[in-house]
Homo-oligomer: A and B are copies of this chain.
Amino acid sequence: MRIIHVKDFIGEEVEIKGWLYNKRSKGKILFLIVRDGSGYIQVVGVKGESPDYIFDIYDELGLESSVIVKGIVRKEPRSIGGYELSLTGLEPVQIAVDYPIQKKEHGTAFLMEHRHLWIRSKKQRAILRIRNEVEKAIVDFFYENDFVRIDTPILTPTAAEGSTTLFSTEYFDMGKAYLAQTGQLYLEAAIFANGLVYNFGPTFRAEKSKTRRHLTEFWMVEAEEAYYDNDDNMKVQENFISYIIERVIKRCADELKILERDTNILQSISLPFPKITYDDAVELLQKDGFSTKWGEDFGGDEETAISKHFDKPVFIMDYPRKIKAFYMKEHSERPELVRCADLIAPEGYGEIIGGSQREDDYDKLLARMEEFGLAIENYRWYLDLRKYGSVVHSGFGLGIERTVAWICGIPHVREATAFPRMLYRIYP
């Protein structure tokens, strides 16, 4: 029996297999909070009613001991989860002594070093359950919209966005392989088979940045759409984000409450999202007192400043081509720009989506790759896609940890995944 199911057994005796989350005793009464991963339940023992031996072992039961408890289910609206057990039996499975994480405040370094235990705590568990829901919403959205999932390779012979921030490994006798920062180029190949495709997996960036928005290993979902231009692409993204948010609000109310998340902004997100151009954004920043000049990329501070002007995610479109990747589609009227859009989360959570229309013209793409100094030989296959039935197409990538951090309202992405990898952190 899992705790989520006790509500169907009022008046009956049930057995719960879990861990001791908290305990206290008061005169002839003892209160145990037991958790089993599906929920929390208070178990109440009364001397004379519950078996005596439990009162004898009570003191030995360290927090986080594994226990199997039996009790009669009662409705109790004041209790955690709304139900209680009247204790009828308790079997300690393994007694935990001096569980390292106590009620007192611990420093982040200590908690990260004990991440394998920290994830048991109420808030951390709530975050990971919200992540679970976000990830299920992602695959449901794409499945329902007839996108075919393509697992793009991690080990790749080339560096799609420059090699300085790539992890590499020796690939047998074939030289170096790089851990992919994106599966986009492969998804582009796959649209010709399936029209609409997506991937969902880990991504790697060997960046020496130590910010609250960066991990060296993070999860990304990327989509690619044949015969979609940048505007069509933004429509998919709006629907996608709003689908995820609605799902989490509906199914993770308890978790959002545990995190004390003010859900007003999440609740009120409606379509369409505001769209401004890169030109507008620069102007906005300059009015806000930033020294940003046209042609420069935006950092975290700039993104935060821009997001403060909106109470919804905002698209920034049509960046200068010089600061964007080689594969982006040249703007038809202003060739110094590319047809792209970054989606900035509200409340200062930064860029959560990067997307663009892709260059579908063989000659322009080739020129651009040469300009970027790419080893064309490695990209023959990619260029083939512009020779054999090239079409207008677009796509985007959403960062999971940033999205989860935003939805949860937590300041650092490191808590948005179970075992984060950072510049100085690879344990546990």
Question: Would B426 and A171 count as touching, CB distance under 8 A?
Answer: yes
CB distance from A209 to the nearest CB of B (A): 12
Q: Does A223 contact B (CB under 8 A)?
A: no
Which residues A198-220 have CB closer than 8 A to chain B? 201-202, 204, 206, 208, 216-217, 219
**Which one, B38, B169, B204, contacts A195 given CB within 8 A?**
B38
Does any Cβ of B come within 8 Å of A235's Cβ?
no
A149 at the interface (CB under 8 A from B): yes
A116 surroundings in chain B (CB, below 8 A): 186, 189, 381-382, 384-385
A418 within 8 Å of B by Cβ? Answer: yes
Number of interface residues of A (CB under 8 A): 97
Contact between chains at A37 and B389 (CB < 8 Å): no
Interchain CB contact under 8 A, B96 and A419: no
Contact B174 A426 (CB under 8 A): yes
Chain B residue with Cβ nearest A425? B174
Question: Closest chain B residue to A5 by CB distance?
Answer: B146
Q: In the complex, which residues of chain B have a beta carbon less than 8 angstroms from the beta carbon of A390?
A: 66, 93-94
- Out of B18, B65, B149, name the residue touching A132 (CB < 8 Å): B149
- A134-152, CB < 8 A from B: 135-136, 139, 143, 146, 148-152
Copies of this chain per assembly: 2
| Interface pair A17/B226, CB less than 8 Å apart | yes
Shortest CB–CB separation between residue A38 and chain B, in angstroms? 6
CB nearest to A377 among chain B residues: B427
- Chain B proximity mask over A29-73: 1 for CB below 8 Å, otherwise 0: 000000011100000000000000000000000001110000000
Q: Return chain B residues, CB-CB under 8 Å to A192.
A: 19, 37, 64, 117, 119-120
Report A151-189 CB contacts with B as 1/0, cut-off 8 Å: 111111100000000011111101001010000001001
Chain B residues near A308 (CB, 8 Å)?
A: none
Q: Does A375 contact B (CB under 8 A)?
A: no
With contacts A17-B226, A388-B64, A390-B66 known, is A151 near B417, CB below 8 A?
Answer: yes
Interface pair B389/A65, CB less than 8 Å apart? yes
State the CA gap A100–B195 with chains docked (Å): 20
Q: Which residue of the partner chain, among B20, B38, B186, B426, contacts A177 with CB atoms under 8 Å?
A: B426
Q: Which residues of B contact A157 (CB under 8 A)?
A: 426-427
> Is the beta-carbon distance between B37 and A196 smaller than 8 angstroms?
yes
A10 at the interface (CB under 8 A from B): no
Nearest-CB residue, chain B, relative to A122: B193
Interface assignment of A190: CB less than 8 Å from any CB of chain B: yes
Q: A128 at the A/B interface (Cβ < 8 Å)?
A: yes
Q: Name the 8 nearest CB pairs between A and B, nearest first.
A: A37-B195, A381-B428, A66-B389, A116-B189, A37-B194, A94-B390, A96-B388, A17-B227
Which A residues are closer than 8 A to B by beta carbons? Answer: 2, 4, 17-20, 36-38, 64-66, 93-94, 96-97, 99-100, 114-117, 119-120, 124-125, 128-129, 131-132, 135-136, 139, 143, 146, 148-157, 167-172, 174, 177, 179, 186, 189-196, 201-202, 204, 206, 208, 216-217, 219, 226-227, 360, 378, 380-382, 384-392, 400, 417-419, 421, 423-424, 426-428
